[in-house]
A and B are shown apart, each in its own frame.
Chain A
Amino acid sequence: MSAVLKVTGMSHWFGGLKAVSNFHFEVPEGAIYGLIGPNGSGKTTTFNLITGIYKPTEGKIEFAGGDITGAKPYRIVRKGVARTFQNLRIFGSMSVLDNVRVARQYRPASTLLASTLRLPSFKAEERLRKAEAMRLLDVLHLADRAKEQAKNLPYGELRRLEIARALATDPKLLLLDEPAAGMNPKEVQDLMALIGRVRDEFKVTVFLIEHHMKFVMGLCERIKVLDFGETIAEGIPEVVAKDPRVLEAYLGKKGGH
C-alpha cells in the first residue's frame, strides 16, 4: 500500500514553544489512521500544518506524491485534503444544503457524468452540483434537513454536516478533528459505523484525532500516539494498547488493565 500522506521531519514552534517535534509518519492509502495523545500534545497543530493554516518551521509534507509544505489552504483543499473541526465551524446562517454546496463549487461537477449526458449549460451544472450535494446529505442522513438553517440543527447532526461538507470538496484524504467529541456512547457507536461506510463509499483515506480511546481502538487500523509533541508509539491498535509508554501517558505510572 502506498502512502497518501507522508510527513518527514516536521517541527513547529509557536515563539519559543515547540508544539510539534520532528514528526515522521505515513498514512497508507485507504486506511483509517488515528492520532491520539493528551491535550497539548500537538494533534490539532498537526492538522493545521497539513491543511496549510500554519507553515511548518521544519520538515516536509507530501500528499499524493506532491509537496504541499506551506501551500495555501484553499490550494491544499483543491488538491484533495478536507477536514472537519473540533469545535464545529459550520456556516450557521446558511442552509444545510448551501453549506455543502459552497464546499462543492470549486470542484468540477462530476465531469464524466456531465460529458456522458452532454450537459453543456451552467444551469445543468448547477443542477448536477445540487444533486451531488443532496446525495451527500442522504448518505449522512441529513437529506430531510437540507432546507433548514444550519444553526438550528442539534449537535449530533452538526457533526455529521461537518463530515458532509468536508466530503463535498471531493477529498482523497479526510481529516477528522475529534469527531466523537461530546457524543454519547450510542452516537459514538453510530459514528464508527458511519466513518467506515464513508471510507468505503467515497474511497477516502481517513486520518483522525481523538481522545476517546475505545473509539480509536475500535475503528483505526493504524495508530500513532503522541505526548508533548513527540511520538511515543505507533502501530496496530492491539500492539499500541499494550505499549508501556502509552499506558503511562494515559493511565499514570502504575497503569495497567
Chain B
Amino acid sequence: MGNDIQRRDFFKVLAATGAATAAVAGCADPPEKLIPYLVPPTNIEFVPGHPVEYATTCMECPAACGMVVKTREGRAIKAEGNPDHPGNAGALCVRGQASLQTLYNPARLASALVREGTTWKAVPWTQAETTLAERIRGLSDRRQLVYLTGNGAGTRGRFLDAWLAALGGAPKLVFEPLGQQNIKAANDQSFRRPEIPQYRIEQATFLLNFGSDFLETWLNPVRQARAFAAMHAIDDAKRSKGRFVHVGPHVSLTGANADQWVAIRPGSERILALALAREVLQRRGKSVSPPEAARLREYLAPYTLESAQDATGVAKDRIAQLAREFAGARSSLALAGGTLAASEAGTATQVAVNLLNHVAGNLGKTVHFGEAQQIDHGAPFSEVLALVKRMQAGAVQLLIVDGANPLHALPATAGFADALAKVPTVVSLSPAWDETTSKAHLVLPGLTFLESWGDAFPQKGVNALVQPVMAPVYPLKSVEDTLLAVARAAGATQFEKTATYYDYLRAAWAGVQKEVGNREAFDVFWRKALQAGGVFQQVSASGAVRLDLRVLAEPAPRGKLAGTGLVLLPTASLRHHDGRGARNPWLQEIPDPISQVVWDSWADIHPTTAKRLGIAHGQAIRVKSPYGEVETAAYLHYGVHEDAIAIPLGQGRTDSGRDADQRGVNVMTLLPAVHDPASGQFAFVTTRVSVEPLPHQAFLVQTDGSPRQLGRGIIQQMSLEQVAKGEAPAAGHGGEVAAAAAGAAGQSAAGTVHARAASFYPPRERTPGYHDPYRWGMSVDGDRCTGCSACVAACYAENNIPVVGKERVGLGREMSWLRIERFIEGRGEEYQTLLQPMFCQQCSNAGCEPVCPVYATYHNPEGLNAQVYNRCVGTRYCSNNCAYKVRRFNWFNYEFKSPLHLQLNPDVTVRSKGVMEKCTFCVQRIQHARLKADGEGRPIKDGEVQPACVQTCPTRALTFGNLADPASEVSRKSMRGEEARQKRVRQYEVLEELANLPAVTYQRRVRVTTEQEA
C-alpha cells in the first residue's frame, strides 16, 4: 500500500506541482522534468493555474457543515466553509480544515486486502467483492449479517436499510461514540418531543452552560460559535454584551470563554439546575400556569440553596446570584450536554435543565423545537452492548464495519475485542487503517467523503449534498457502490435499476425536490443543488412545546460515583473529537489551545490536588481505575474541580497509522461499560480513579513559553464599565494579576509600557509609491476570538506548512505561521484564560527588515513584510529581531509523506532547508485578486481578498483589508492616527511601545466582571 498511484495520474499531478517542485529543487535536490498536459480534460472548463471549486458537505462530524473545496489540476488543495450554508456560513472548524488530511492520509488503504494468517494479501477488487458476496450467500441465517457503520446520515442511512433488507441482514447499527440520546430521551420525557432542539444562543443575553463543549465538539460547534459571538461579543455601538457562565467540573476551550466559571462537583449538575429552577420559579414564574407552578414548586421543594450547596460544592450565595441573573436576564438560555453531562443520570440532568429553561420561559424562545437538529443518528450504547452480547454468543457470523472503530472507541470492559474474535468473518469497509480494521478478515477500503456521493440533513430546511471533489486518491470504490456490487453478486434483485449509488441518490433527491416544492426539471434542480452544496430553506415553525408534568414522576436517577479517588472526566477533544481526528497530522501538531500540548494526552489536575498527591507539572502519573490503568502526564490546571482529573478522548491509538499510533493514552480503557438506563447513552462520568506519581517526568510537549504574560500586555482586556465610559485602560494594561507576580522581580505595573514616542523618521506612507493604493492590514477582535484554532489549520493547509513531529516541536521548531497564544491570569477558581491569534504583524517599521543582509525580507509597497525564499541565506537574524517571533526557520527539508504531498498548494512555494518563512497575509490570494481586478480594470474590492485564516474564522474575529482605503471594513475596525486612538477604546497594538508600527491591530477583550443589568 502507500504509493501506487497510477502512472497517468502521477504525470497529471507532476505537471501541476511542476512549478512548486522546481522552486523547491534548490541546490541539493535532483532536477525533475516538467510534463505538461498534452490533452487537457474536456469535461470541465479547465484553465491551468485556475482553481475549480466544488460545494460539498463536511462529514468529519455529524454537524454536516457546508464546504467548498478548492481543487487545482484535479486535486483538492483547500477546504473552506460554504458561505451559503445556513449552519456554518462560510466557516469551518479545525477538524473541517484538516479534512483534507483525511483524504490524503498516509494510513489510507490502497487496495482490497485479505488476511492470510497474520499477514495481509492484496487481492483484485472484484475478487474481494465476490468473496464477500459468497460469504453472505453462505450464511445459514441472514440475520447473522450485521452492519456497523459510523455514518448513517441522510439517504445513506436509508440505503443501508434497503441493502440489509435486500439481503435479509439484521438492522444496521450506527456507531457514534459521542451520541446525544440523553437530550432526545429527556425531551421525550419532558415534552414528548424526542429530538434535539435548536438552541438560539444568539438571542440569549445570559447563557448558562452545564458542562457542554459547545465551542468544540458538541452538536454543531461552528454554528454555535457564530451564535455565541453574536450573543457574547461586545456591541461597540451599544457598548453592551451578553454574559456567559460555565458550570462544570472542567474548563476546556468553551469554559475558557466564559465570563465566570462555577466549579461544581462532578455529576451534580442536575441538583444545581433544579435549585436554580426553584429560585427562578420563586422570582419569575410568569410563563408557568398557576397549577403547573404549584406542582413544580412541590417537586422542586427539596432543592433548596443549602442542599444544593452541600451537593454541588458551590456556595449558596453564588447559586442565588446565578438564579438572580438567570431570572433577571432579558433572554436566558441553559444548555447541558457533552461528555461531562453524560453520567448515569445524564437524562435526568437534561430534564432538570429543561425545567430550568421552562420556568425561565425559554421554551419556544431560546430553546426552539420544530427545526430539529437531525445530527445524531447513532444507536444508543445499550444497543451496541446488545450487539457485543450477540457476537459473544456466536450469533453474528458476518460483521461488516464501515467507518466505525469500536475497538478503540468502546471501553475495554465492553468486551468488544473478545466478541470480535468470535465472529468468523469480519469485513471492513473503512478507508484507512484503524484498530478494528486491523482485526478484519477482508478489507474493501471505501472512499472518503471528499471522493464520494452522499447527502446530509443536519436540520430541517438544510438539505446538503456531498459530491466527489476529485478522482479517488486510490483506484477504489465508494462503500455504497461496493455494497451494490456485492448485493448483485449475492443475488439480490432489488437494485437492478440502480447501477451506482449516484443513481440511488438522485432518485432520493427527486423526493427532496418535491419536499422543498421545487418545480424545475430535475436535472436543473440537481445541478443547482450541486452548485450550491444543497438546497437551503428557511423553515418557520412555532417551536412551542408544553411541559408534560408526568416527567416529574420519573424515578430519581442513580449516579452516585462509587469508589475512592478522583472522578475521571473524559473530555471530548477539540482537535480529535472522539478520536476520529487523531490520524490527521495537522490535528496532532496544532496545539490544544488551552493546554498547548501537542501529539499527546495529558491529565488535568488541580494544583491543590496535585500538591496533596505530590505531583508536579509534567510528571508522569499512573491513573488507575477498577477497569484498567494508563500512564500519562500530569498537567496542572486551575480549570478542573479539585476532586476530579480530566483526560481528553481520542488518543492512544495502536493501529491507525504512524501519525496516530502510540500518541498518548486511550482514556476509554479506564471506563466501565455503563450507560444511562433512561436513554441508553454511554455514561462517561462514572468512575473514580487513583492517581499515583511516577518517579520520572513525562515527555510532554507544550508550545507555550510561559503561562503568564507578566503584565506585558500581549493580550489585553478591559472591563465593560471602561468601555461604557469610553476610557482606555491605563498603562500596564491587561495583566493586573500578572503585574503583581512581576512585582516579585522588582517590577512595577506602572511605567511598564510607554506610549510610543514620535518617530525620528518620516512614516512609510510618505515614501513615494508606498502604501498606495493598498496597504494590507488586519484587525483582530479579542472579544470575538474563542481560540478555536481553525485559523491555524487553515494556515497549514493554505501555505504548505510542514508538520515536524513531537520531538521537534519540543525544541521549538513547529512551523506554524499562525499560533494561538494562551496566557493565564489569576489563580484558583477566579483564574482566566486569555487566547489570541498571533502571526506576522506586517510592521511598517519592522525589526526583521533592516537586519537582513541580502534583502530576503523587505517592505513591499503594499505594506507586507515580503519574504523572498529564494534569496534567503538563513542567518536567522530577522527571527531574532522580531519582537513577535512569528518567523519560522526550515531546520531540515521536511517531508510531506505520500500522498499528503498531493494537497500542496501550487501557488505557494514549498520551502527548502535553511530558509526563513513567515505569514504574508496569503500573498498568493492577494495576487489572484489583483490579476482578476486588473483584468477587469478596477481596483481590488474590499473583502475580495480573504486570507485563509480570516476566511475560516467561525466568529469573524479577523478582518482583513486595505488600510489605505478609509472606507474599508478593516479601516473602520482599526482606526489609525491619534484621534482614532482616542475614539476607539478597545484598540491596541501588541508591543506598541517598540514602535514597530504593526499593520495588525487588536481589539481588547471585554470582561463582564460583575452582574450585569439585563
A and B from one complex: no
Which residues of B does A touch, CB under 8 Å? none
Which residues of A does B touch, CB under 8 Å? none
